[in-house]
Structure 1
Amino acid sequence: MTLLPEHILNGYRHFIEGRYLAETQTYRSLARDGQAPETMVIACCDSRAAPETVFGAAPGELFVVRNVANLVPPYTPDGEFHGTSAALEFAVQALRVRHVVVMGHGRCGGIKAALDPASSPLSPGDFIGKWMSLVETEARQVSANELLTTSEKQTALERISIRLSLANLRTFPCVSQLEAKGKLTLHGAWFDISTGELWAMDPTTGDFQRPLIDVEIAAIQAK
C-alpha cells in the first residue's frame, strides 16, 4: 500500500529537487517570520484554474481560498460553519491584506449546475445545490434570456457571479470599513482556461476587459 498516489509523490520530488532547492531561503524565512501576503484571492476549486499558477506567484505571495464557483456568501454571523468567511476574516483582520481578488473562470462546473437546476443532486445532502443557490436569482434571469446561446449564458453568469461576490464582500463590516478608509481594494477577474486570457473587472462600470491587451490598445489609440 502506498501512502500517497505515485503521481503526487513524483510531483513532490520534482518540487523538492527544483523549486524548493532554488528558494530554500525564502521558505525558511517564511517559516521563521510568518506570512505577510498583500493579496487574497478567492478562487474556484477547479483543478484547471489555480491562481498561484495563473499569477505566477512566489511562496507566501498570495493568500488563497478556493470553493465551488469562487462564491462569497453574504455576512451571516449565525454561529454556523463558514469556511470562506473565516478565511476572509483572517486575511483582512489578521494578515491585513491590501487587495482581495475574486477570480472566476470559464467552463465552471458550479455555474453550469446553477443554470441547470433540474439536474439530479450528486448526493442526498445536495451540498452543491445549496451552495449554488447563492446565485439562484441571477441564474434564473440569465436562463430566461432566449437570445443567448448556452455558452453565452455560462460566461454571463460566471461574470455576474463575480460581481455578486464583490457585493457580498462589502456586507462584511471589516471589508466595507477598510475599503472606505482606502486600506483595502476589491477586484474582479475572470480567467479563460481555453485561451489563457485574463479579464479584469472595471470597478466603475462592471465591464470586463483584458488588462494586458485592451488597456494597452486604448493607450495607443489615445496617442
Structure 2
Amino acid sequence: MGVVETLAARNQRFVESEFDAGLRMKPKLATIVICCADTRVDPAVVLGAAQGEIMAIRNIGGRVTPRTLDELFMLRAIAQAVDDDIDSTWELVVMQHTQCGITRIESRPELLAPYFEVPEDELGRVLVNDPYGAVARDMSVLRADSRLEGAGVSGLVYDVATGRVQAVAGR
C-alpha cells in the first residue's frame, strides 16, 4: 500500500470515529500557534490540543516573518468576515524548539535574508541560533504590528530532547 492509500484509509477511520461536523472556524481556545514545520514539533500533539482547539501556522523555524504577519492579518480579515474577530480574547503563541534545522543553514545568508526580508548584514538580529531569544524577538514583532492590536502574545520553546515546553518572557 502506498502513502496516499495509507492516508486515505486513515481518513476513513477518522470519518467513522472522530469527525465533528459542528466545529467552528474559530478555535475553541482562540489561539493561533506559530511553530516550526519540523515533524517533531506538531503543536496539537506537543500541547495536547484536541481537534478544533487551536490553529497553527507552520513554517521553517517557527518564525514570525513578514509573510507570517500577512497570514495573520488575512486570518483576522476572515475572522471578521464570520464575526469572530481576532481581538483581546485571542492568544498568538510563538513556539520554537531546540535542535531546529534552521540553525544548520545559519551560514547561508542568501537563503535567510530573503526569508526574513532583512539585509544580509542584519541577520544577526533575527537570532537563528537562539530559540529563546528568537521567540522573544518574534513576540516583539507581533506586538509591534498594529494590524494585530488587541491579541495576546506569548512564547514557548519546546525541548525536543525532553518533550517539555518552557514559557519565554517577552521583551
TM-score range, shorter chain: 0.7 to 0.9
Query: TM-score, with normalisation over the residues of structure 1?
Result: 0.61
Alignment of 1:46-195 (within 5 A): 46-73=38-65, 82=67, 84-93=68-77, 94=79, 95-97=84-86, 98-114=90-106, 116-117=107-108, 126-132=110-116, 136-138=123-125, 154=129, 157-175=130-148, 177-178=149-150, 184-195=151-162
Give percent identity, aligned residues only: 23
Q: Secondary structure at 1:160's aligned position in 2?
A: helix
Q: Secondary structure at 2:139's aligned position in 1?
A: helix
Inter-CA distance 21–57: structure 2 relative to 1 (3 Å threshold): farther
Which protein, 1 or 2, shows the higher relative CO under an 8 Å CA cutoff with sep ≥ 6?
2
Q: 1:42 aligns with which of 17, 34, 46?
A: 34
Query: TM-score, with normalisation over the residues of structure 2?
Result: 0.77
Inter-CA distance 132–85: structure 2 relative to 1 (3 Å threshold): closer
AA aligned to 2:154 is H
Inter-CA distance 70–6: structure 2 relative to 1 (3 Å threshold): same
Aligned structure 1 segments of 4 or more residues deviating by more than 6 angstroms: none
Q: How big is each residue's C-alpha offset from its partner over 1:43-69, in whole Å with a ceiling of 9 and x where there is no partner?
A: 111122111211222222211111111
May I ask how many residue pairs the two structures share in their alignment?
A: 158
Q: Secondary structure at 1:166's aligned position in 2?
A: helix
Q: In structure 2, how many angstroms separate the alpha carbons of the residues matched to 1:63 and 1:86?
A: 16
Structure 1, unaligned stretches of length 5 or more? 75-81, 119-125, 143-152, 179-183, 207-223
Larger radius of gyration: 1
* Residue 7 (structure 1) aligned with residue 3 (structure 2): yes
